[in-house]
Amino acid sequence: MNKLTDIITDPKRIIAKNAIPPSHLTDGLKLKYGYADILVYPKTTAEVAAIVKYANTNNLNITTRGAGTNLVGSTIPNGGIILDLSLMNHIVELDKQTFTVTVQSGILLQDLQQFVEKHDLFYPPDPGAKNATIGGNISTNAGGMRAVKYGVTRDYVQAIEVVMANGSVLNIGSKNVKDNTGLALKHLFIGSEGTLGIITQCTLKLIAKPKVSQTFIVGFNTIEQAISSITTVLHTLTPTALEFVERKVAQWGERYSGFKFPLPNSQAYLIIMLDGSDLQTIEQLRKLLLTNLGDCDYFVAEDNNQTNQIWTIRGSLVRAVEAITEQDPIDIVVPINRISDFINFTKQLETQTHMRMLAFGHAGDGNIHLCILRDNRDDKQWQSDLQNVHQALYQKCLELGGLPSAEHGIGTAKVSYYNAAIPEANRQLMRTIKQQFDPKNLLNNQVYMTVV
């Protein structure tokens, strides 16, 4: 096998350097661009294996991408081959008896969710980008809003098929619910950002679709009150989602979506979703909230329309910001009792630096998505201000026992913060594993692990 055109014979699926669309040279932010020699669209695992073998023989970098929605530079290539898995989007098997679905890794999250829900089953992980691929979700161990109750992508991956750097194909895991038969290799690939192998197929765990859900909002007079209520809510209810939004942040969503957010006199909100058997009557909710949370107001969505409006506003926040100005997305996680410390720190920093920052996020698991707004800064000022703010934020995050990435990954964007957060001995162990799995360092070698 001498040429890639012998492997991918369909000319529509092999794109020469000069014809590669710019969207394939960047990530979801579309701010930085890389370069590549060729773009290929395999359709089968056998094709992926042959391409990887070819790359290995010819010492070519491989940058694997799904839908390219990542926010940390992981899909910005640095020469070699772009391996686009978006055509590997088939459902291989729905097995209702074992509550599993097997899919090629290029299927979009939204397509998978719709498919299984039609069969009265449910794939709980629900990261914001519904147009991301499942392969991308696995490679960043994506989380999302329902993680508070249901956990993250890692918790739903039963088996993976992986093409290793030498082109061999490994099958890891099974449809068995319990497994203590050997080392948990599967978990090493999940969240590895494409550095250890290329996931071509996976078997995902499903659950019975919750028959009902309920959304309500608790409004507070101060941000502190809202945030200090988070652990109480976690002790009192079993929320599917537990999101924190400030009034002024909700207003961005109102302007963008055209919908009104309830309880306009409150300063900060917790948006809470319950589902299945965790639903409460209005009377139960009233008692629980008033007994446990003190002085607060609440609004219970009465129908699908109200529910959708609330979640549309919450879901539109990043786009609402991006419609006005460039923004830098932060994906910090802190232990849940330090959320208020972190958010208070962003307030101080905002005052000190005059950078606008919108904090919102997955309050139930300490994952704060902070948008830092560029506003009218020129390139130089923006980069310099952003770097200063980053350093202060990530430093504070570490002081609070937090981590630089909850679900976006490290990519190229957060390497220095990753280096500061993870002890050198741990990083050395990761590099050792990378070296054994990919001795020529060809797979996604632009991202964090290879940078010392």
Q: Which of residues 76-115 bind a second copy (CB under 8 A)?
A: 95, 97-99
Q: 228, 231, 271: which is closest to 247 by C-alpha?
A: 271
Please count the other Cβ atoms lying within 10 Å of the Cβ belonging to residue 180: 5
Nearer to a second copy, 50 or 332 (CB): 332
Shortest Cβ 118–a second copy spacing (Å): 16
Contacting a second copy (CB under 8 A), which of 79, 167, 276, 315?
A: 276
Contacting a second copy (CB under 8 A), which of 251, 337, 416, 441?
A: 337
182 is a site residue for a second copy (CB under 8 A):
yes
Nearer to a second copy, 60 or 138 (CB): 138
Q: What is the footprint of a second copy within residues 401-420 (CB under 8 A)?
A: 401-410, 418
Is residue 236 within 8 Å of 292, Cβ to Cβ?
yes
Shortest Cβ 255–a second copy spacing (Å): 29
Contacting a second copy (CB under 8 A), which of 107, 227, 271, 333?
A: 333
Q: What is the footprint of a second copy within residues 287-326 (CB under 8 A)?
A: none
Q: How far is CA 330 from CA 185, 188, 190, 362, in A?
A: 29, 24, 21, 13
Nearer to a second copy, 60 or 410 (CB): 410
Shortest Cβ 78–a second copy spacing (Å): 20
Nearer to a second copy, 234 or 300 (CB): 234
Please count the other Cβ atoms lying within 10 Å of the Cβ belonging to residue 3: 9
Shortest Cβ 376–a second copy spacing (Å): 33
Nearer to a second copy, 16 or 177 (CB): 177
Total binding residues for a second copy by CB under 8 A? 76
Nearer to a second copy, 202 or 313 (CB): 202
- The pair phi, psi for residue 432, each rounded to 5°, is -60, -45
Q: What is the footprint of a second copy within residues 3-62 (CB under 8 A)?
A: none
Q: 221, 243, 201, 225: which is closest to 366 by C-alpha?
A: 243
Measured CA to CA, the distance from residue 369 to residue 382 in angstroms comes to: 19
Q: What is the footprint of a second copy within residues 121-180 (CB under 8 A)?
A: 140-141, 143, 147, 151-152, 154-155, 168, 170-172, 174-180
Nearer to a second copy, 15 or 339 (CB): 339
Q: At what angle do helices 304-315 and 247-257 cross, to 10 degrees?
A: 110
Is residue 199 within 8 Å of 189, Cβ to Cβ?
yes
Contacting a second copy (CB under 8 A), which of 277, 305, 351, 376?
A: 277
Pair of tokens at residue 292 = 């446990």
Shortest Cβ 54–a second copy spacing (Å): 20
Measured CA to CA, the distance from residue 96 to residue 177 in angstroms comes to: 14
Nearer to a second copy, 261 or 360 (CB): 360
Mark residues 421-450: x for contact with a second copy by CB under 8 A, - for none. Answer: xxx-xxx-xx-xx--xx----------xx-
380 is a site residue for a second copy (CB under 8 A):
no
Shortest Cβ 407–a second copy spacing (Å): 5
Measured CA to CA, the distance from residue 172 to residue 103 in angstroms comes to: 15
366 is a site residue for a second copy (CB under 8 A):
yes
Nearer to a second copy, 61 or 367 (CB): 367
Nearer to a second copy, 254 or 365 (CB): 365
Nearer to a second copy, 164 or 263 (CB): 164
Q: What is the footprint of a second copy within residues 215-244 (CB under 8 A)?
A: 231, 234-235, 238
Shortest Cβ 178–a second copy spacing (Å): 4
